[in-house]
Amino acid sequence: MRLSNAILRGVSGAYLLQSGLGKKDAPVEVYEHLQGMAATGIPQFKEWDAKAFGQFLWISEAAIGGLLLTPFVSKRLAGIALTAFSAGMLTMYFNNDEMTQEDGIRPSQEGTPLSKDAWLTAIGLALVLQSKK
């Protein structure tokens, strides 16, 4: 594994693993809030039970973080998983007017935490493109 690849995978993997595990034992009210935000990007999440959504979210984040941190998982698979997850997160960012400034692209103060998914998408795409060599 190239050092540049290890850095991309290590930073994003550790971030997602920590984020997912941090949500593992969250109260249902936190899951309800996260579910409401997620439903702005993916409306089908409104139909889920809040606890089931929370479990899905933390397991997804932790699993993708684990994929990225596991060296024998291919760059392509890890990149596709990261790109899909972060693109889903960006749908919340772009479909929620409070997250962006008037131009619909630059983050507002409320959108700054979610705008970080742009760099996760970029890392995912870089991993996929590196695997084409």
Condensed to tens digits (0 to 9), the pLDDT of residues 54-102 reads 999 999 999 999 999 999 999 999 999 999 999 988 888 888 888 889 8
* Residues 44 and 18 sit within 8 Å (Cβ to Cβ): no
Q: Where are the chain's structural domains?
A: 3-130
* pLDDT recorded at residue 111: 86
- Minimum mean pLDDT among 6-10, 30-34, 80-84, 97-101: which range? 97-101
Measure the CA–CA gap between 62 and 20, rounded to whole angstroms. Answer: 5
Question: For residue range 100-126, what is the model confidence (pLDDT) as tens digits?
Answer: 898 988 999 988 888 888 899 999 999
* pLDDT recorded at residue 110: 86
* Residues 106 and 84 sit within 8 Å (Cβ to Cβ): no
pLDDT at 2 over 70: yes
Measure the CA–CA gap between 103 and 112, rounded to whole angstroms. Answer: 15
Q: How many CB atoms lie within 10 A of CB 29?
A: 9
Residue predicted with more confidence, 115 or 32: 32
pLDDT at 16 over 90: yes
* pLDDT recorded at residue 133: 58
**Mean predicted confidence (pLDDT) in 5-21:** 93
pLDDT band at 45 (very low <50, low <70, confident <90, very high): very high
Q: How far is CA 95 from CA 47, 76, 89, 99, in A?
A: 18, 28, 10, 8
